A and B are shown apart, each in its own frame.
Chain A
Amino acid sequence: ETGVTQSPTHLIKTRGQQVTLRCSSQSGHNTVSWYQQALGQGPQFIFQYYREEENGRGNFPPRFSGLQFPNYSSELNVNALELDDSALYLCASSLGAFDSANEKLFFGSGTQLSVL
């Protein structure tokens, strides 16, 4: 039990639609990161938010965007869905301004997104 919850668990969308995925971090965790895990692959870093500001981004286009709220919840929004966006989306929280060398990430169980 990591204390990080994600909703919904599964989601089916059509190409071109928009989707919002939600994450609730552990209380007190100021950093949230989002990862995309395609089938048979390791998680790929999308972006990270620290105290409601984006402070790091991976190699994902601008149609992937996020929000972080003061109550330790966050959202991942994806516009103009493509078939290749089908994946498990994981959020992970950590206590401070995340330093991957020293901080422990707490992952949620993920949202499985299928784009048809």
Chain B
Amino acid sequence: GNSVTQMEGPVTLSEEAFLTINCTYTATGYPSLFWYVQYPGEGLQLLLKATKADDKGSNKGFEATYRKETTSFHLEKGSVQVSDSAVYFCALNSNSGYALNFGKGTSLLVTP
């Protein structure tokens, strides 16, 4: 079935550093791709999504581009803040279409 693999954390960065969290996928057909974020003590929130090849999702300074040729959807941010400290999950819709399949999550810690 459809699945994603994302880089393991934890990732520790200084404030204003550049962030990349890698995510690759395996899928039949053309899935939609998502990044969800989980702040401490909270539920998951949709950060951004892309529904077709070459689409770029963006939100709050984060970006990810749907790359069909490399089956990737890497998350990037040019300058991270302490408030970005959270766990980030890459996901795609399941073969059935009514569920999301998540990666294991990447923990990000940004220090002042």
Q: Chain B, 80-102, contact with A by CB distance < 8 Å: what is the 0/1 string?
A: 00000000010101101111111
Scan B32-51; emit 1 where CB is below 8 A from any A CB, else 0: 10000000011111100001
Partner-binding segment picked from A14-22, A67-75, A79-87, A106-114: A106-114
A48 CA to B100 CA in the complex, in Å? 11
Residues of A within 8 A of B101 (CB): 45
- Contact call B43/A101, Cβ cutoff below 8 A: no
Contacts of B31 in A (CB 8 A): 101
Q: How large is the interface on B (under 10, 10 to 19, 20 to 34, 35 or more residues)?
A: 20 to 34
- Cβ of A90 within 8 Å of any chain B Cβ, yes or no, is yes
- C-alpha spacing A47/B1, complex, angstroms: 16
Q: Please classify the interface of chain B as helix (H, G, I), strand (E, B), loop, or mixed, using the class held by over half of its residues.
A: loop
Complex: how many Å from CA A56 to CA B31? 18
User: Which residues of A sit under 8 angstroms from B100, Cβ to Cβ?
Assistant: 43, 45, 100, 105
Q: Check: B57 CB closer than 8 A to any chain A CB.
A: no
**Cβ A100 vs Cβ B97 within 8 A:** yes
Question: A104 at interface (Cβ–Cβ under 8 A)?
Answer: yes
Min Cβ gap A110→B in Å is 6
Q: How far is the CA of A99 from the CA of B44 in the complex (A)?
A: 18
| CB-defined contacts of B44 to chain A, threshold 8 Å | 43, 90, 92, 105, 107
Given contacts A105-B44, A107-B44, A109-B42, 13 further A-B contacts (CB under 8 A): A4-B43, A33-B99, A40-B104, A42-B104, A43-B100, A90-B43, A92-B44, A100-B32, A100-B98, A100-B100, A101-B93, A107-B45, A108-B43
